[in-house]
């Protein structure tokens, strides 16, 4: 089993920045990629970005050039740096581990509003 704990959400003004963190523990050897998803009210959960074990990354078109996913292997932590935030980025952000059982974090709220 893999446990994921997210942190770093909050309220920010449009144009601002936030950094989300996702700390993994447990059977981390089984993880072959890590991702960030988000779900806005009334909408389906969508992929924001992922990073593979080989450090290849992929982003949703809506966040390209604004968000950056990275990892600290020593800390078993994945980050999502979010810059130039827009009101439409408002959502609950979830960390996901791509492994045989597919693990999710509890989610962290990001609200972009003036």
CA distance 97 to 90: 22
Mean pLDDT of all residues belonging to the chain: 95
- Best CA proximity match to 23, nearest among 37, 39, 7: 7
Tell me, what's the pLDDT at 14?
A: 98
pLDDT band at 105 (very low <50, low <70, confident <90, very high): very high
What confidence score (pLDDT) does residue 1 get? 87
Q: Name residues whose C-beta falls within 8 Å of residue 5's C-beta, 6 or more positions apart in sequence.
A: 22, 23, 25, 105, 106
Rounded average pLDDT over 14-36: 93
Q: Residue 101 pLDDT more than 90?
A: no
**Helix (H) or strand (E) segment spanning residue 43:** none
Q: Can you tell me the mean pLDDT for 20-31? A: 90
What confidence score (pLDDT) does residue 90 get? 98
According to DSSP, residue 89 is labeled G
Phi, psi of 79 (to 5 degrees): -120, 155
How far, in Å, CA of 64 to CA of 42, rounded? 23
Residues with Cβ within 8 Å of residue 56, at least 6 apart in sequence? none
Please give the average per-residue pLDDT across 48-60, as a whole number.
Answer: 96
């Amino acid at each position: 089993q893999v446990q994921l704990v997210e942190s770093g959400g909050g309220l920010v003004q449009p144009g601002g920045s936030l950094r989300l963190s996702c700390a993994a523990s447990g059977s981390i050897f089984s993880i072959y990629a890590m991702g960030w998803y988000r779900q806005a009210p009334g909408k389906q959960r969508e992929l924001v970005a992922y990073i593979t074990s080989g450090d290849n990354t992929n982003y949703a078109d809506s966040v390209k050039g604004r968000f950056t996913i990275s990892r600290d292997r020593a800390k078993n932590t994945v980050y999502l740096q979010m810059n130039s935030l827009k009101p439409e980025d408002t959502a609950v952000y979830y960390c996901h581990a791509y492994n045989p059982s597919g693990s999710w974090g509890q989610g962290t709220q990001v609200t972009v509003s003036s």
